[in-house]
Amino acid sequence: MDDWHLIVGLGNPGPEYARTRHNAGFMLLDRLADHWQVAWQHEKRFQSRLGRTERNGRQLLLCQSQTFMNLSGVAVAALVKYYRLPLGRLLVVVDDADLPLGHLRLRPAGSSGGHHGLDSIERHLGSRQYPRLRIGIGRQDERREIAGYVLGRLTGAELAVMERVLARAQRQVECWLERGLQPAMNQFNGAVTAPNNEGIKQ
């Protein structure tokens, strides 16, 4: 197929999960779609909410899987197979409780770190060699059982931080598309600083 790039935001569908910490991936995809003026369509074939656009001569597909988090790999693998995508052109956006709120970490590959959405994608692709952008949501304490926390809604203070994080993540995704993975990692990984201190990283 054409030079497609696929950006997948992980989350759970439905209004009861809106603005929960586990839906950070969905939140970034909504922001990208708004900024790029991409219309969403529900496509049962891929069990996903999809948006298609073109940027800098590249065909771009945005995806919010509607399978629920633990089955994210079903939708992702179906899209990768249909569009014959090299895994280097797949970017998965995911929340990360082991990363502090306000931090971004883009990597070319890696383990799931116990994230069920990434576990599912790895199983269905048979590989962990695909880029992933982790959005930090932090954690309340060191307990491993954090389902209640990640499925809880962001507080007002957390939302204010998350808005700045998502704005920076949007620029990081655009950098990935325009300049490649390494420049996007070098310029945008790390903690989001106060707006008046970001300087050339805007």
Q: Which residues pair with 54 in a beta bridge?
A: 59
The tens digit of pLDDT for each residue in 27-62 reads 999 999 999 999 999 999 999 999 999 988 889 999
Contact 146, 112 (CB under 8 A): no
pLDDT digits (tens, 9 = 90+) for 77-136: 999 999 999 999 999 999 999 999 999 999 999 999 999 999 999 999 999 999 999 999
The active-site residue, picked from 5, 22, 115, 124, is 22
Q: What is the pLDDT of residue 171?
A: 98
Structural contact between residues 4 and 83, judged by C-beta atoms closer than 8 angstroms: yes
Is 116 labeled as catalytic in the residue annotation? no
Distance CA(105)–CA(185), nearest Å, equals 7
pLDDT-derived band at 141, boundaries 50, 70, 90: low
In CATH, what is the architecture of 4-201?
3-Layer(aba) Sandwich (3.40)
Sketch the domain layout of the chain as residue ranges.
Answer: 4-201
pLDDT digits (tens, 9 = 90+) for 158-201: 999 999 999 999 999 999 999 999 999 999 999 997 554 443 33
